[in-house]
Structure 1
């Protein structure tokens, strides 16, 4: 192979991972298929016309060993939460230290080894951990994991990260002892923590399970087993996993591509844990710029491409019109269309802006999609589906075999689900209602039947009147439509009652035990002697004229500050960088204009966000003098809020406090150990307050659902008369 690499520019390029070049076997075999072996170089058993690709396949078949495969067990969700809390709490700090991302990768690798290795080999690894050096065990785990990935055709590269850890030996053994208890629910919780700690953005964050499952079942509805399924932007493999779960086993070929090696090796690991055979290859961030051939021809395509990214390269085939340079949403959409077989179909996740954008080029593309009948259906999902952005999305269903002038099905699930702590979640109930509407429409039945999500089959003329908007709420009139039964409500309200009791116990018993006044001498310091006070970006950077084209960035506004927490974010596209205004963990935000006195602490999950003009940031703390959690509590004191409001300028209709004024604030500081104790106590109370807010939201949601159903006599009452 080395001779081919040196002599032929057309030889497939390597994938570089942690300093090593790897070649995709499938790409090398495909290249070998184009090179016929000369007669004087053929083996006696090789007929004329044999290619190097065919020779390699024959050799691989003769030497083939069973592929390592494991299936991660199904586990109890409540038990999984408790286990993950233990693994990522003090135990995690003793193993991972400040390298929590690498520690999570250690947990991923250990889970794979426990699932794929024989029981005797796993037990041997744990026994060795009790006797061997920590570094030797980490090297063994990393190398064995990478070997498993390579043997199954996936990109390796975990060893380097996990061998950088310096764990406490006993804690490492404790972790390995608990790994066998991890199942699918626990592993998903670890993945959630991973994408928070790794600060993944829209180019590499993971697609939620609820979205992948719905997209797969919509697309695969009625499909046969012999299908080629392709994800051109595979992220961590979640779309391929959902496709494999939705399609009957047998004859299915799964392929994914990604430009990000770190998420691609995680995708390989996840596929192995689900016992799924698939091919992953190194993709491009602009795969439509492949002049020789398309990346893949597939029967079905499922993908969640990066949102609203600038299109630096626009060389491609555009059947519905060239996309604008400022945004590649429609470049991805048309790449998926071009990659389909003649009767192929695709499900593509796109942000809502793609459905309604007034950009002339995007509007023209939507018009062409509708007129040529390439768009089959659009499903609107609720905001906050993703952990790291509140941006709302739709699932677009495309068909390669176009049907000019055909109606489009619009399904509105934008009010479905219920709010969780950091996401809006929808489960089986919402998904089944969307599928009921879609399946009724595909089979020619009425779509406004009980148990179906609000939907409408819309003719081309009506879409034209709406200026070719593809946003379902523009066509479907709905309120909160989720069906519920009294029995279901009883179950949910029982959960709420348990949460309420836990909050009451914590407030009555736990908080008083730590609620001791500060001891030691109080010293007074000006705020500017304890930290930096930074004003937000210039308003000119955020003006509409500077909003597009450019990268989408997550922006925190004053409205997102509540109860000393950041509760949300907006996304804006800017020409200019806001690098100087990127938030870090433990930064404190203060409202600069408007609701003076509101403050919030930046958590580990929120680092990487940016802050708005109307906010001030406190950072660069002198850690030997002040604890940020204590300072947050101090800034929330009533007399401090009164001072801030008095000092705010009222020369305009909206009160404003500037950075120089805030720097003058006097802070009373007890000894640092006391600050930390007080900060922990207040943080516990804030956690309880957040739980109460969540509890209130749940009750309010169900009160609305119950009222609507009772007043329309639609709620089943298990045969009992009201």
Structure 2
């Protein structure tokens, strides 16, 4: 089931939950209801993913659900289930007793949460968790509360599309530390955690979060825990206090949607890096706080009101100082009504760098990217505007393309333009994208060449058809080779590596030429420990170091790969990769791996990876395909240690992995079929990308031509 289907299933569940809850809003204080709902969702997810039938919290949860179905208040058993679950070593919150969950703390009566029975019954009726994810249900519940005006806190709820754009623009990586100094209910950090989880691991230690409204931290922690963050901690603070007490250290990314035009106190007591902001307006206090907390390679993406880009007086001087210091990377103008009903005004995203020369080629560092995305989004009368996934992809992809090479990235009339510092200074430090990007209405639209479009479609269709036939032929060969009761033995990986397997009584394997050969040993080893490569050892250019995040479904990604100096790589010679090695992730998504080709020969295995140098009797591509299989992944997950969001496998346990070991000919046939599937997938992705481009451009072109 794709993401659209799961979101639709989750939306149906949320609609049912809201209908059961809405009648209980009248005539009572609903302030803590959302936190109680999130607590129930977190408990439901923990019961389903971690609980065993014999666990007390599972029994209590099942009793609460049964009570709710017949109209009895489930609060007593929900409270007991929560307390029992909180004592489990994998429960994602540190000490739930200190959080004082008012309506589930056992101190109140049935009238405190009159909606609990109906809510729990409606939740139990949802489809399988794969069809309606609890994290998505929580997101949509927050959105529904925001649409209904149910939020009383001073921090606006950040729409998911805006939060996703902040994350995609800043592109946090596994291992990064992320700060949100005004996190509200944690929506931006929740999406950041999911983004990182796809590439590595994120936990409470990776996130630093504060709320300006003291009623939000508990809900924010619940929200983050539901999204898979282990031990999240959210405090209460303000920009002045955070600047005065920076004992938490520097961060790699700052992502935030702080309150607009908020008053601050004691602004004069701080040595502001770019100038003292007005005490009546904290906008430039938030921006300066974000910049001051960044590490040397850090980036910040902050939502700001549009007036911050052109206001006069003291704020204009602050903008010029930020420009002169190289703090400004980009200003992105978004459409109006994204935050309705809270605010109908359009907003900007400011992208800041601690040191812009670390983000851009040195020759291009004195430029700023302006993106005018104010015309994007889906606009429905009397409803808030929503940025689509295509909109956020278009914005973030334009920023990252420009970041790689501003001079080589052409301006896109009506959408984006790279502007020199000199031009901005000439405009008195004005940062309004509309001043620099020509409006789309001035463009002359031309209809696309229909003949070229049809030719491209036909060319891709032919290539995909050929690719499909190749896949069918390769799979047919595999089917013939493994037919008639074929059942290869399962041999431990370490036995294969040692060449000591007893697969055959005589201990011989059939080689590539059909001859029988004596098994030859391979090698299985772990990457260097953290004591051999420190964080400050990484350099801008040198020998690439492969981390788990750099392993993809069909190779290696160089997008965010780190490097060490050649001299240090020489000292770590025993960890250098050779052609034909298989690099495996030892943490996070187990089963992730890649085969070393000519390009990666001489790279360095990093911390968090294992290397298999297979013996002659084991085909590297076959082993990589087997490691990605559901059979191998199930075994690795079952034998891993660590939390449910960060699993780890040891070298000893990996050596015990039972590998299905057919003869070399079958191995090669399966490996070839997997390569054909990879190629077919690539061609299909190209075809889908072309169809999207045609859908986006053709109608506008026809009508404007």
Give the shorter-chain TM-score range. Answer: 0.5 to 0.7
- CA separation in 2, counterparts of 1:141 and 1:130? 17
- CA separation in 2, counterparts of 1:215 and 1:98? 36
Match of 2:273 among 319, 322, 341: 319
Match of 1:463 among 392, 404, 424: 424
Q: Which runs of 5+ in 2 are unaligned?
A: 451-694
- CA separation in 1, counterparts of 2:417 and 2:438? 9
1:193, distance to aligned residue in structure 2 (A) = 2.6
Match of 1:212 among 163, 171, 188: 163
Hey, what does 1:422 align to over in structure 2? 383
Report if the CA contact (8 A) 2:411-2:418 is conserved: no
Q: What pairs up with 1:529-544 in 2 under 5 angstroms?
A: none
Hey, what does 2:354 align to over in structure 1? 400
Match of 1:362 among 315, 326, 338: 315
Hey, what does 1:81 align to over in structure 2? 11
Hey, what does 1:136 align to over in structure 2? 76
Report if the CA contact (8 A) 1:99-1:165 is conserved: no
Match of 2:62 among 123, 131, 136: 123
- CA separation in 2, counterparts of 1:336 and 1:154? 32
C-alpha spacing 1:197/1:295, structure 2 compared with 1 (3 Å): farther
- The answer to whether residue 107 in structure 2 is matched with residue 177 in structure 1 is no
1:277, distance to aligned residue in structure 2 (A) = 2.8
Hey, what does 1:478 align to over in structure 2? 439
- The answer to whether residue 153 in structure 2 is matched with residue 191 in structure 1 is no
C-alpha spacing 1:408/1:180, structure 2 compared with 1 (3 Å): same
- State the SS of the aligned residue for 1:409: strand
Hey, what does 1:710 align to over in structure 2? 702
- CA separation in 1, counterparts of 2:338 and 2:446? 20
- CA separation in 1, counterparts of 2:447 and 2:102? 49
Hey, what does 1:160 align to over in structure 2? 103
C-alpha spacing 1:367/1:168, structure 2 compared with 1 (3 Å): closer
Hey, what does 1:573 align to over in structure 2? none
**Matched pairs, number:** 422
- CA separation in 1, counterparts of 2:447 and 2:247? 47
Match of 1:342 among 265, 273, 296: 296
- The answer to whether residue 151 in structure 2 is matched with residue 200 in structure 1 is yes
- CA separation in 1, counterparts of 2:344 and 2:27? 30
Hey, what does 1:377 align to over in structure 2? 330
Instruction: Calculate the aligned-residue CA RMSD, in Å.
Output: 3.8
1:333, distance to aligned residue in structure 2 (A) = 0.7
Report if the CA contact (8 A) 1:309-1:329 is conserved: yes
C-alpha spacing 1:709/1:83, structure 2 compared with 1 (3 Å): same
C-alpha spacing 1:251/1:287, structure 2 compared with 1 (3 Å): same
- The answer to whether residue 249 in structure 2 is matched with residue 309 in structure 1 is no
Report if the CA contact (8 A) 1:91-1:171 is conserved: yes
- The answer to whether residue 194 in structure 2 is matched with residue 245 in structure 1 is yes
Report if the CA contact (8 A) 1:94-1:171 is conserved: no
Q: Which runs of 5+ in 1 are unaligned?
A: 1-72, 487-702, 714-722
Hey, what does 1:441 align to over in structure 2? 402
Hey, what does 2:233 align to over in structure 1? 280
- CA separation in 2, counterparts of 1:103 and 1:201? 12
- State the SS of the aligned residue for 1:378: strand
Q: TM-score, normalised by structure 2?
A: 0.53
- CA separation in 2, counterparts of 1:484 and 1:435? 27
- CA separation in 2, counterparts of 1:134 and 1:226? 41
Report if the CA contact (8 A) 1:129-1:137 is conserved: no
Q: Deviations over 1:140-182 (max 9, x none)?
A: 4665687756536896233437855353797466335336765
Q: TM-score, normalised by structure 1?
A: 0.52
1:267, distance to aligned residue in structure 2 (A) = 1.5
C-alpha spacing 1:323/1:127, structure 2 compared with 1 (3 Å): same
Of 197-206 and 239-248, the range deviating more from structure 2: 197-206
Hey, what does 2:578 align to over in structure 1? none
